[in-house]
């Protein structure tokens, strides 16, 4: 069996501006970024000021605390990009501002969506119940006398006044009232029998 030799270790990449023979520790510091300890110390020391910054942009304390904590997590995840440890606070501040903006955008979008009224849609059960009720009402209306049915249809479904109904049917106003009250009473009895 052939013996597979391990791959030779890759030569460290040369950092621009680094001269050959430069100190190895300086090269690693430039690549590694800020340390966890330095980031944590900066965060603890400036927590109140970061919270105050978020409070200028947001309106409630809970959101401000969430934004500041999220900023720490994000900078912690990307701490290798913070090449100069002295700029750690600046990174934290910028992240707080960006996260506050994002929070505001989400809120505005939520308010826009809430501002649009939801369509009044009946559930399937309500729709079926309405159809049954309508069917029972039509059946009960068909059982009324012709004049009672005409008065009720014109008065309540066509939304006419009693005077308009009287004029349309060519009957007196008193007759419209009489046919209407008798028709409603008969409808009530018929609808109670169906339920």
Instruction: Please tell me the predicted confidence (pLDDT) of residue 135.
Output: 86
* DSSP 8-class letter at 154: I
Instruction: Please tell me the predicted confidence (pLDDT) of residue 195.
Output: 65
Helix segments in 58-123, DSSP class H? 61-77, 88-115
Hey, what are 27's tokens? 């090269």
The pLDDT averaged over each successive group of 10 residues in the chain (195 residues) is: 39 46 44 80 92 87 92 90 87 92 87 68 71 83 90 88 91 94 91 78
Does an H or E element contain 159, and which? none
Query: Could you report how far apart the first and last alpha carbons of the chain are, in Å?
Result: 91
Instruction: Please tell me the predicted confidence (pLDDT) of residue 32.
Output: 64
**Distance (Å, rounded) from C-alpha 120 to C-alpha 113?**
16
């Amino acid at each position: 069996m052939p013996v597979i030799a391990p791959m030779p270790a890759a030569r460290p990449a040369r950092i621009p501006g680094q001269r050959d023979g430069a100190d190895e520790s300086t090269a690693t510091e430039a690549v590694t970024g800020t340390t966890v300890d330095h980031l944590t110390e900066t965060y603890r020391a400036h927590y109140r000021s970061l919270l105050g910054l978020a409070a200028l942009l947001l309106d409630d304390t809970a959101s401000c605390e969430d934004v500041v904590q999220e900023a720490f997590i994000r900078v912690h995840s990307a701490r290798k990009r913070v090449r100069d440890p002295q700029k750690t606070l600046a990174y934290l501040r910028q992240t707080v501002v960006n996260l506050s903006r994002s929070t505001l955008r989400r809120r505005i979008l939520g308010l826009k969506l809430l501002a649009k009224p939801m369509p009044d849609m009946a559930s399937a059960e309500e729709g079926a119940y309405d159809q049954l009720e309508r069917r029972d009402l039509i059946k009960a209306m068909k059982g009324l006398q012709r004049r009672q049915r005409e008065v009720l249809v014109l008065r309540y479904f066509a939304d006419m006044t009693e005077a308009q109904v009287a004029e349309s049917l060519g009957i007196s106003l008193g007759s419209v009232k009489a046919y209407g009250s008798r028709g409603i009473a008969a409808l009530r009895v018929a609808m109670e029998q169906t339920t």
